[in-house]
Amino acid sequence: MENQSVTQVVLNTQKNTEDPFLTKARLLKIEDSTEREREIACWACEFGFEEIRPVSMPICPVSLYEARRDVRAKRLQGKRVRIKQETLEKPEVVTYFDVKWTTEKNNISNFEWLKRLKKMLDYRRDEKHIVQINERLKVFKNFFEKQEEPFYALKGAY
């Protein structure tokens, strides 16, 4: 066990001790594309599925939070105002939006991947995996519903 990599140790302790590279080679040899996709989806549900979870959004910087609060207050008074450009150009605000954008895109991509996996499965043979995916899709949907101020461009993606 001394010379084994962490990945090998993890793989050897799991129920399925087949090397992922051998699994990949075995799956790619399947002639029928529908059956190959089904097998890939089953494998995805058994190996690495726990990592497919929504990632929480970054915390809004204080300067942006205060600017938004001030803009909302002024808009309630009927004034047309925007957040000042200098606030939006602060390094912590730029970093916040970059991380938020990336996190949202990754969450939506994982959500779409789960929906694709579900379509690849056979409802008669893979009920366990379908239930597993449905539960994770619910987790993502709840996460998206509770999300504050999603990017407008990504709003309809889920």
Alpha carbon separation from 140 to 2, 59, 70, 115 (Å, rounded): 39, 19, 32, 11
How far is it, in rounded angstroms, from Cα 3 to Cα 93?
A: 45
- Give the model's pLDDT for residue 8: 38
- Give the model's pLDDT for residue 23: 77
pLDDT in tens, 87-141: 999 999 999 999 999 999 999 999 999 999 999 888 888 889 999 999 999 999 9
73 C-beta neighbours (distance < 10 Å), count: 11
pLDDT in tens, 15-56: 556 677 787 788 778 887 888 888 888 888 888 788 889 999
- Give the model's pLDDT for residue 9: 37
Calculate mean pLDDT across residues 77-95.
93
pLDDT in tens, 45-76: 888 788 889 999 999 999 999 999 999 999 99
With a CB cutoff of 8 Å and minimum separation 6, the contacts of 58 are 96, 99, 100, 103
Packing angle, helices 91-120 and 62-76, rounded to 10: 90
- Give the model's pLDDT for residue 140: 92
Confidence of residue 1 (pLDDT cuts 50, 70, 90): very low
And the tokens for 16? 């399925």
How far is it, in rounded angstroms, from Cα 116 to Cα 145?
A: 21
